[in-house]
Amino acid sequence: MKLFLNKASPYARLVMVVIHEKQLIDRVELNWTDPWASTPALLAVNPVAKVPALMTDGGESIVDSACICAYLDDVGSGRRLHAAAGDVGSLSKYGLGRGLIDAAFGVTIERRFAAAQSEPVLAKRWLDAVQRTIAELEKTPALRRATDQPDIGDLALAVALGYVGFRLQEVDWQRKAPATATWFSRIDARPSMRLTRPE
């Protein structure tokens, strides 16, 4: 398999975490790619010009981190990470984790590209979403139940929170959400998280 990714992308990081959790690292060739450069190699796999994008051994491309994670869960080994039918709790966490990644990434991109001097409207909106989501995590213990067997929802939330700490330091989320920070630090100590720190 070939994975197109970059080092800062939280979407690509979630895919890498799943690759490690499913013991697939030796089966994946990593293609470090700047999606904004829209290279022909990336466009050949993903016309949307985004990372992550996966080319399977059979030559089929799978784009979007959620779809790639679902595929890797099927072809990897070990414990299943995606929710069993009817596991609403896992889907709740997964959706919230993905939403938090979207919001934090949206703020980062809006800030990078907006021409205006003042705080851009979209960045303000998405920053509010980041803060609301972290407050929700903090007041909902069921979303951060201690576990040494994290599922895809736990991993997505942890990656999202790692990205907020990496790109939106002014949010200072660990001080505002101490219970969530304690939960996060346990998951963040896993090899899959340590091996995929954003830079």
**Site residues, ligand GSH (CB under 6 A):** 9, 11, 35-36, 49-52, 64-66, 105
Question: In terms of CB distance, is 143 or 159 closer to ligand GSH?
Answer: 159
- How many whole angstroms separate alpha carbon 138 and alpha carbon 100? 14
Q: Are 1 and 56 in contact (CB under 8 A)?
A: yes
CB 87 within 8 A of CB 113: no
Residue closer to ligand GSH by CB (options 15, 181) is: 15
Beta carbon of residue 59, minimum distance to ligand GSH (angstroms, whole number): 20
Task: Considering the complex, state which of residue 10 and residue 138 has its C-beta at the smaller distance from ligand GSH.
Answer: 10
The distance of closest approach from Cβ of residue 182 to ligand GSH in the complex, given in angstroms and rounded to an integer, is 27
How far apart are CB 67 and ligand GSH at their closest, in Å?
A: 8
Cis peptide before 52 (omega within 30 of 0): yes
CB nearer to ligand GSH: pick between 54 and 187: 54
DSSP for 52-89, written as a single string:
-EEE-TTS-EEESHHHHHHHHHHHS-SS--SPPTT-HH
CB of 140 to ligand GSH, least distance (A): 24
Nearer to ligand GSH, 35 or 183 (CB): 35
- DSSP label of 116: -
CA torsion, ordered 127, 131, 134, 135, to nearest 10 deg: -160
Query: Nearer to ligand GSH by C-beta: 64 or 136?
Result: 64
Phi and psi of 34, rounded to 5°?
A: -90, 110
Q: For tokens 């980062």, what's the residue?
A: 108
Alpha-carbon gap, residue 183 to 160, rounded angstroms: 13
Instruction: State in angstroms the smallest separation of the CB of 7 from ligand GSH.
Output: 10
CB of 178 to ligand GSH, least distance (A): 28
